[in-house]
């Protein structure tokens, strides 16, 4: 059964909300309560969950711990995922320094850059390797996800190398529309595009003033 990307994108939001409820000591939650927290309709939440099974009982809500465990299993968050970062400039350094990856099961185990001044230096316990050696290194030290934080002009070459290494999940911070085989998942992170989308609504509101 084909499940839409929109449904998949909402699952981590549900998991995050449930984790917060669990940390507050909650044992049961209703779809209506989740709906208020996430600004999603209760009917949509129930429909999303129905793709994966029956997790609650009508009139009794969902067991927070059980549902959270199920969502983590569905999303593959019940295991450790190994990541490689390509690009150790300002953005890459911020990504390496982000402490939110580890608790969610993501660990950056390799980091690469093409700048001779950066290659060989240590950052957050990792020695920065030469991007030219990426394929040889990843052939020996397999990773699950590639994070691309390089300038636009070099991003496709890096992505091609990751694909040749057998990596099927890429988080792309470069402002390009990456070309990859159908079996490879690419998620683009571009705050400028997000801002430009918001300015449409800002302009409309200003025009109506």
Dist CA 147 CA 86 (whole Å): 6
Q: Give the pLDDT score at 201.
A: 85
**pLDDT tier for residue 108 given thresholds of 50, 70 and 90:** very high
CATH of domain 81-192: 3.40.50.720
Domains of the chain by residue range: 5-75, 81-192
Considering 46-60, 108-122, 195-209, the range whose residues carry the highest mean pLDDT is 108-122
Q: Classify residue 147 by burial, with Cβ atoms within 10 Å: 0-12, 13-18, 19+.
A: buried
Q: Give the pLDDT score at 122.
A: 93
Considering 28-32, 39-43, 123-127, 144-148, the range whose residues carry the highest mean pLDDT is 144-148
**Does position 58 have pLDDT exceeding 70, yes or no?**
no
For range 143-167, the mean pLDDT: 96
Q: Give the pLDDT score at 205.
A: 75
Tell me the sheet residues that pair with 107.
82
Contact 173, 147 (CB under 8 A): yes
**pLDDT tier for residue 59 given thresholds of 50, 70 and 90:** low
pLDDT tens per residue, range 112-128:
999 999 999 999 899 99
**Does position 149 have pLDDT exceeding 80, yes or no?**
yes
How does the average pLDDT of the chain come out, rounded? 92
> Comparing 188 with 209, which gets the higher pLDDT?
188
Phi-psi region of 125 (alpha: psi -120 to 50; beta: other; left: phi over 0): left
**pLDDT tier for residue 1 given thresholds of 50, 70 and 90:** low
**Does position 209 have pLDDT exceeding 70, yes or no?**
no
Q: Which CATH class is domain 5-75?
A: mainly alpha
**pLDDT tier for residue 96 given thresholds of 50, 70 and 90:** very high
């Amino acid at each position: 059964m084909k499940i839409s990307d929109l449904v998949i994108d909402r699952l981590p939001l549900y998991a995050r909300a449930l984790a917060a409820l669990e940390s507050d000591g909650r044992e049961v939650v209703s779809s209506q309560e989740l709906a208020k927290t996430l600004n999603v309709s209760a009917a949509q939440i129930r429909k999303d969950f129905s793709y994966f099974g029956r997790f609650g009982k009508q009139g009794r809500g969902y067991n927070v711990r059980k549902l959270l465990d199920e969502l983590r299993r569905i999303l593959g968050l019940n295991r450790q995922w190994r990541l490689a970062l390509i690009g150790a400039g300002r953005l890459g350094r911020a990504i390496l320094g982000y402490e939110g990856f580890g608790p969610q099961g993501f660990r950056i185990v390799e980091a690469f850059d093409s700048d001779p001044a950066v290659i060989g230096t240590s950052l957050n316990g990792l020695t920065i390797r030469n991007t030219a050696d990426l394929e040889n290194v990843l052939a020996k030290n397999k990773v699950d996800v590639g994070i691309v934080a390089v300038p636009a002009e070099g991003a496709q070459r890096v992505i091609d190398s990751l694909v040749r290494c057998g990596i099927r999940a890429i988080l792309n911070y470069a402002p390009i529309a990456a070309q990859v085989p159908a079996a490879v998942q690419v998620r683009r992170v571009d705050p400028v595009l997000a801002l430009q989308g918001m300015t449409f609504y800002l302009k409309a509101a200003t025009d109506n003033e």
